[in-house]
Each structure stands twice: as C-alpha cells, then as structure tokens.
Chains A and B, each alone.
Chain A
Amino acid sequence: MQYEAIVMGVSAGGLLALSNILEALPAGFELPVIITQHRAKDERALLEELLQLKCRLRVKEADEKERIAGGVVYMAPAGYHLLVEKDRSFSLSCDPLVNYSRPSIDVLFETAAEAYEDRLIGIILTGANKDGAAGIATIRHRGGMTIAQDPAEAQFPVMPQAAIATGSVQHIFTLDEIKKTLSGIGEKTNSL
C-alpha cells in the first residue's frame, strides 16, 4: 500500500464540499481520513452528525490519544488543534490560534507529514483564508501527494489559491476528480 492516510483542510464552504467527497467513499475504504474544518469553538458534534448522514464510513470527532484506524473519518474538535503523533495516535492542544484558527489546518498537516512522511495525501478545499498553505508545502517536502481543489470551482478560492501559490501542489482537481482519485486509491488498497 503506497499511502497510509489522507488529511483534508477546509474552511468556508466546507460542509458542501466535504459532504460531496465523503459521500463518494466506498464502504471498504481502508485509509483513515483526517479532516480539519474551521468551526465555531463551542459547536459540539453537529458537523459530525451532518456528515455522517452522507458517508458510509464512520465519521467521528478525533479523541485525545485515540489510535488512528483505517476506514474512519476523523474531524478535529472545535476549539482544539488536532495533531498526529508518530505512533499513529492523535493528540490535541489548546495552543494559540494559528492563522487565526484553532483547529488549524497547518498544525494537522505539519504533524501528519512528520508522522506519515511520503505515505500521506494532503488535500486543500474551499476556504477564505490561507491556513493549510504551509502545511501542504511540508507534506510535499516530505514526499507526500498534494492536491488542491480547483479554485475556479471552489466556493471560496482563497485557500486553494494560497496552497497552489506555494508551488507545492501537484494536482489541481475538481471535486469529481478528487473523488475519483480517492476511490481509486481505496480500490487499490482493497486488492492488496
């Protein structure tokens, strides 16, 4: 198996884009999908519940020290940064906002890149700020695959544009192309 995990970063316009992608993941999908979506700090499980309605895989908030399992969609909890540890578990932090955000996409991407190195796929979707750009560069630097949603299609193009501007994005894809790529990777892992 070439890849071990997928991280996604998304901000404004995220619910639609995420529903669209998660809906397409097949039931036997084997990789963990770890998502930082910017969200209000006191919102508790609403986002997970909404996305679960669309998704065949289990969708849950990432728990502190939880072992990361394949075929599960994990969301960063409101008000906390989500970090990936080298032993494939999560930790959380209340450190200061990064790019005006907590959870911050950069924090997830940079720690995941450190843990998974070249076995990671990083995807930046719609959003109105620049969080995730540094993270996508780190993933690429470590040899992982990097994808940004086509800004022409994104509801808010600023975030994918900022990622692309780092020069570290390998693929600029529409949501349909992202779905095809992910399902393809899912199938490949199924056959192994």
Chain B
Amino acid sequence: MPDMKEIRELLESIRFMYGYDFTEYAEASIKRRIDYFMGLHKIYSLKALGKLLLRDEAVFEQFIQEVTVNVTEMFRDPAFYKSLRKHVVERLATYPFIKVWIAGSSTGEEVYSVAILLKEEGLLQRSVIYATDINQRALQTAREGVYKVDQMKTYTANYQKSGGKNTFSDYYVSKYNAVLLDKSLRENIVFSVHNLAIDKSFNEFQLILCRNVLIYFNQDLQNKVINLFYESLCPFGFLGLGNKESLLFTDRRRQFEEVDKKERIFMKAG
C-alpha cells in the first residue's frame, strides 16, 4: 500500500503538470480512491501510476473521471428538501429572476430534485440552475438525465418524504432498465465544468447547494470554498450543505445565520 508521502508527491506533480489540485483533499479518502483506481487497473506501485499519469494524458483523463466521481441520489436526505420548501422557497419567490448554483453536482440526481421542487413551487420558469462539477463524465450523465430503474423505488420514497406534491412517476418515462427524466426539467439547467479547488466565482446566486462535497476537502480548502460561496451569494442568499458538514472551522461562520441547524441551511447575513 502506498504511503502518504508518496501520495503527496504524486498529487503535487499532477498539479504541476495538469493544473488539477488535489493537494488539499482529505488524505484518507483520496488515498482510498487512488488505491481503488490502482486495483482496478492493475497498477502495482505508486511510482508506476505516477509515470503512467504524467506520460499518458488519456490515462490521466480516466484517472480524473474515476477518482473525482461522487455518489448521490434523488432527494437524498428528504428532510433537507422539506426544509428548503418550508424555509427558503418563500424568500426565493420574492426575486424576479432566481439563480441557483449546485456545486459538485456529480451525476445530476440532486439537480433534477431541485428542478422538480422549483417546478412544484411555480418557480422553475424564472430560475436558472447552474450545475457544475469537476468531472466531465459525471456532467454528461447529468445532462442526459438517464438513470437506472432500480433506484426509482428509493427515489420515489425520498420524494414522498420530501414533501413532493405530485406523483413521482410523472417526472420520468421508463424503458428497459432505464428511466429518462422529464426533458422539460432540463430547459432551465446549465451544466458546466467548474473546479472548486481552483476556479473563481462566476455569478451571483440566491441559493447555493454544495452537499457532501466539502467532506472530501481538508480544512484549508473548505475554508476557501466557503469564501467562494460567500462571495457568490447575494445578500440574504441561502447556502445548503450536507448534513454532516458545517461552517464551524471557517472564517465566515459569523457571516452566515442558521436557517435550519439540523438540515444545514444557512443564510448570508446582509
């Protein structure tokens, strides 16, 4: 098993060579993912992996796609969505034009969940949802909106618990073992590549969701990313994090108010 020092050296050279910065990721998780990649591709030493990655851009591309993908589901943590409906929607409705950023949108399940929520609240038509991720392949999956049918039971249960107002099956058609989500949901979604570790703010938003992404970062990077969100929110804009994530260790913790402590929804103080 490779040790941490070697991993750090590898991450440094990746940063130097390709501009992808993983040096501020939580070490234990990135190491597990690298181990997993090596196992999958039968690469037996970190040196061999390093050589391969730095020499062969195609392998590097594959590495990025496999090491950065996050697992997600529709209406994950239904109570979070319930709280969005209860605490945030009314405030969003006061804006003539609503911009939402879903940072680290991965394969898109959460993006469509938010789109469905906004649609049911009558806000989707005047909203744009920016869904960004570092991982192009995940973004492509998100863009297509095609998911495995065997997940639908869980998603339907989540949707119902989240306070959904319709029948979940209204939002997809199934064919063989896959479902295609209602294409009209996509009309107000913009998918694009954004790397939280290095890229800057690109707009001003009323709502930013970044759930279960910060857990992969170390405290310095968490702090930087929270700063980025702070700068990207309008006054009184909302920030939703994963239910184990907090602002506790960040410089901006006093500049956000808790809207729902348990569901980790915050509001930028004006």
Contacts and interface: CB of A to CB of B under 8 A. Distances in A.
A168 to B, nearest CB: 15
B71 A94 contact: yes
Contact of A95 (B71, B219, B245, B249): B71
A96 interface: yes
Interface stretch (A77-85, A121-129, A150-158, A176-184): A77-85
A85 B77 CA distance: 26
Given A83-B32, A94-B71, A64 B4 contact: no
A63 B244 contact: yes
Interface in B225-246: 242, 244-246
Contacts of A80: 215, 244
A91 B215 contact: yes
A95 B246 CA distance: 19
Contacts, number: 57
Nearest to B25: A91
Contacts of A107: 32
Given A83-B29, A86-B4, A94 B249 contact: no
A118 interface: no
A94 B32 contact: no
A115 B26 CA distance: 13
Given A93-B215, A94-B71, A107-B32, A85 B244 contact: no
Given A93-B216, A94-B215, A83 B244 contact: no
Given A64-B215, A65-B249, A85-B26, A92 B244 contact: yes
Interface residues of B, number: 24
Interface string B189-225: 0000000000000000000000010111001001000
Contacts of B214: 64
B244 A77 contact: yes
A94 B110 CA distance: 14
Interface string A89-120: 00111111000000000010011001100000
Given A83-B26, A86-B27, A111 B215 contact: no
B28 A91 contact: yes
A7 B248 CA distance: 26
B212 A111 contact: no
A94 B72 CA distance: 8
A47 B150 CA distance: 29
Contacts of B249: 65
A65 B219 contact: yes
Contacts of B244: 63-64, 77, 80, 92
Contacts of A94: 70-72, 212, 215, 242
A91 B31 CA distance: 12
B32 A95 contact: yes
Given A64-B245, A65-B249, A91-B26, 15 more contacts: A42-B77, A63-B246, A65-B222, A77-B244, A80-B215, A85-B26, A85-B28, A86-B27, A91-B28, A93-B32, A94-B72, A95-B33, A96-B71, A107-B32, A114-B28
